[in-house]
Amino acid sequence: MNNKDNIILGIESSCDDTSAAIIINGYIKSNVVANQDIHKQYGGVVPELASRAHQQNIVPVIDLAIKKAKIKKENISAIAFTYGPGLLGSLLVGVSFAKSLALSLNIPIITVNHLQAHLLSHFIKTEDYENQYPKFPFICLTVSGGHTQIILLEDYLKTKILGQTIDDAAGEAFDKAAKILGLDYPGGPLIDKYATNGDKTKFKFTFPKVMNLDYSFSGLKTQFLYFIQKETKANPDFVQENLKDICASYQNHIISYLFKNLKKALDKTKCKNIAIAGGVSANSELRKQLIKFGKDNDCKIFVPKQEYCTDNAAMIAQVGYYLFKEKQFASQSVSAIARIG
């Protein structure tokens, strides 16, 4: 370790994962994530419980990230943290902790937009693995539990929203349907699992009418609820007997819908690189179909490693690394913002 090393501690606490990561001279050295199982029994994230769990987790998570990176806290050059968007109580835990730790170490702080971080998760580097990185300009489809956006990236910190959801996010469409089916939270990974051997053409759903490249998922959730209610009225064992096919058909519908606008974005921008980010990009069928989509459209596809798809602090430290080089530091008066833009 020498004084010239650029060591960034990243902290993420915007929803229900407490995470800390260390990036040294642009290379990821540790990425610790503590998931909060407490929400499973409620079928969704309970904000008050999330912020309490962040308070319990934040010290051990940061401590472990520092230990795993084989550094001392006194070596850290700057602290980057998510200031929004997200749950206010959860964000406040990370923001206050980051500010006080930076104050005690006398180092600068860097504020990171959570969505910007998902976009730049593609550029996380490990020393032992040479990644392929998307070339600018490229399109990124961010699909998470809170957001669904199609973004044009012209440079690391230069982005333009081409389209986004006007109501629910794609992840919510997965989670809410899973809840209707009686599955645990978060339902996305479970729908993915049950869909593996299901017939994706068995049940049909309709697409909403939304302008431009925007999305809407709230109608789909209602459509799904009415479909299940109607079928279980006729056959009380309908869900049990058809779970795999229901999951496969519903998942396939969401993917087709996501790709519909992605194709329009491609035609509009003429980009030849497509990336995906956010929790839903962990979906196995989405990844499979994206490869075909890339071939059909003569585009290169970029999917982050599974651990960088869902919420993590490595992506926060990654944005912190770029902003540190630009000396874009925040003042100690900065606070958390639940909604940005």
Q: Which residues bind Zn ion (CB under 5 A)?
A: 144, 311
Whether omega before 236 lies within 30 degrees of 0, making that bond cis, reads no
- Positive or negative, the CA dihedral 243, 249, 253, 259 is positive
Instruction: Give the span between the Cα atoms of 145 and 35, in whole angstroms.
Output: 15
Region of 126-134, 158-166, 278-286, 327-335 interacting with ligand KG4 (CB under 6 A): 278-286
283 binds, among ligand KG4, Zn ion, none (CB under 5 to 8 A by kind): ligand KG4
Binding ligand KG4 by CB under 6 A: which of 187, 198, 304, 320? Answer: 187
Judged by beta carbon, residue 94 or residue 146, the one nearer ligand KG4 is: 146
187 binds, among Zn ion, ligand KG4, none (CB under 5 to 8 A by kind): ligand KG4
Q: How far is the CB of 199 from ligand KG4 (least distance, A)?
A: 18
| 94 is an interface residue for ligand KG4 by CB under 6 A | no
Cβ proximity to ligand KG4, 102 vs 280, nearer residue: 280
As measured in angstroms, the least distance from the Cβ of 185 to ligand KG4 is 8
Q: Min. distance of Cβ 254 from ligand KG4 in angstroms?
A: 8
**Rounded distance, CA 168 to CA 173, Å?**
7
Please give the Cα distance from 191 to 294 (Å, whole number): 24
Instruction: Output DSSP code: residue 5.
Output: -
Return the number of the residue (245 or 311) whose C-beta is nearest Zn ion: 311
Which of 36, 242, 310, 318: binder of ligand KG4 (CB under 6 A)?
A: 310
How far are the Cα atoms of 131, 143, 317 from residue 305, in angstroms, in the given order?
10, 15, 16
End-to-end Cα spacing for the chain: 39
- Least distance from ligand KG4 to the Cβ atom of residue 262, Å: 16
| Binding piece for ligand KG4, criterion CB under 6 A, among 4-12, 125-133, 277-285, 321-329 | 277-285
Cα gap 31→17, rounded to integer Å: 12
144 binds ligand KG4 (CB under 6 A): yes
Q: Which is nearer to ligand KG4, 174 or 322 (CB)?
A: 174
Among residues 202, 203, 207, 181, the alpha carbon closest in space to that of 193 is found at 181
* Residue of the chain from 19, 149, 159, 283 that contacts ligand KG4 (CB under 6 A): 283
Give the residue ranges of DSSP H helices in the chain.
47-68, 88-105, 114-120, 170-180, 188-195, 218-234, 238-269, 284-296, 306-309, 314-325
Write out the residues near ligand KG4 by the rule CB under 6 A: 15, 144-146, 171, 174-175, 186-189, 192, 278-280, 282-283, 310-311
